[in-house]
Chains A and B, each alone.
Chain A
Amino acid sequence: MSAIKHHIPDGMLAAYAAGTLPHAFSVVVATHVSMCAECRSALHAHQSVGGVILDDTPGISVSGHLRGQTMALLDEPFRPAPTYERRGIYPAPVIAALGGKEPEWKRLGMGVRQKILSADDSGIVRLLHIPPGQAVPDHSHNGLELTLVLQGSFHDELGSFGVGDVEIGDEDIEHTPTADTEMPCICLAATDAPLRFRALMPRLLQPLFRI
């Protein structure tokens, strides 16, 4: 496996640690960190800063019963939240977003398939399955787009991206990501605003597919 060349920017990792990154992007960050030692180490660094700030925060005394109540709860049985494990090419955060199920792909045209993992006001995160050699229609962005490769590779105007690499698209770039020819490219992609396609057809289809 080739080394990861394109990482999560540091400000985004800090925002992820602090919990201010929108949900859709957090799924991508958690997935990349599951694959990348550099970014995991950087995330630990941000957690360490958070820890120092927590430790230096002037304390406010807690009410008298809180300690006893908490101690009494230590032996209470509790049901842990379900945890998910990596399956094949999908790291645990993707499996968690799938609720532990296999992705049910929906056709987008030109052989491209998608599975929306979550969609809300703050953004959409989806899996994309692009056949070998196929291009995703030429588009620009109203906001930010993160694309993380889980299988295969693609290239576009910004460079080439293999497993673990993250491409960051914003208002200033327009690109035509094209899957390389050796196998289908599967990506985890998050956007905080609808993409803008150049061709008329995809624009008409946009509301239908929530691209």
Chain B
Amino acid sequence: ETKTAQMTPETIWMLAVRDQRDKQAFSHLFDHFAPRLKGFVMRGGTSAGQAEEIVQDVMLTVWRKAALFDPERAQVSAWIYQITRNRQIDVARKENRPIPEELRDASECEEDASQIVGVEQEAAQLREALNNLTTDQRAVIEQAYLGELSHSEISKSTGLPLGTIKSRIRLGLNRLRQELKGLR
């Protein structure tokens, strides 16, 4: 219980949506993420009207696919980030983009609260690391993750601390190895 108390409000709301289909918790998530999502989508040049359509699609996906949310892998905003980028690509291409195999239904497994808190702490460290970048570095990172750089541009951007970022998120690795071994 003490560990649950350390979780961010977003995680607690998201788990209530996933496990109890809690609409009030969903409305809190909406109030937190909808304006950020609109800002995020509009940074890429999307009109306000179309941005709101994407916001609605994304938030409905959060509700409908909540069973796939796995707080032991990445924080709520990471999950919503990927849903958003997928949605933006699908709208542009008018077809579903290829996505990795789901490993399992997250809600069907016993979860470890300390692992969840660990993932959140890593996200917090990541935020701190990003905030310590120079303005130029931060700008390049934002461009990359907003979908404004091609993969060759990302690879060529020296000073992009991708290695650092990658080495920060190691928590789930052992468990992923186990799960994938079962599949292969």
Q: Nearest B residue to A29 by beta-carbon distance?
A: B98
Contact B165 A43 (CB under 8 A): no
Q: In the complex, what residues of A have CB within 8 A of residue B27's CB?
A: 67, 71
Segment among A16-24, A102-110, A126-134, A174-182 that sits at the interface with chain B: A16-24
Q: Is A54 an interface residue (CB 8 A)?
A: yes
* Residue-wise interface mask of B (62-81) relative to A, using a CB-CB cutoff of 8 A (1 in contact, 0 not): 01100000000111111111
Q: In the complex, A13→B163 CA distance in Å? A: 12
From A41, A47, A73, contact of B81 by CB (8 A): A47
From B86, B147, B148, B183, contact of A86 by CB (8 A): B183
Q: In the complex, A48→B168 CA distance in Å? A: 10
Contact A43 B35 (CB under 8 A): no
Nearest CB of B to A37, in Å: 4
Q: In the complex, what residues of A have CB within 8 A of residue B7's CB?
A: none
Q: Nearest B residue to A21 by beta-carbon distance?
A: B151
Q: Which residue numbers of A lie inside 8 Å of B, CB to CB? A: 1, 9-12, 14-21, 23, 25-27, 29-31, 33-38, 40-63, 66-67, 69-71, 73-74, 78, 80-81, 83, 85-86, 91-93, 96-97, 163-164
Q: Which residue numbers of B lie inside 8 Å of A, CB to CB? A: 23, 26-27, 30-31, 33-40, 42-43, 48, 52, 55-56, 59-60, 63-64, 73-82, 84-86, 88-89, 93, 96-102, 122-123, 126-127, 130, 141-142, 144-152, 154-155, 160, 162-163, 165-166, 168-170, 172-173, 176-177, 179-180, 183-184
24 contacts between A and B (CB under 8 A): A9-B155, A12-B155, A15-B149, A17-B82, A18-B146, A20-B154, A23-B97, A37-B180, A42-B169, A44-B172, A46-B145, A51-B123, A52-B130, A53-B141, A56-B127, A58-B39, A71-B27, A74-B63, A78-B64, A80-B64, A83-B102, A91-B101, A92-B100, A97-B98
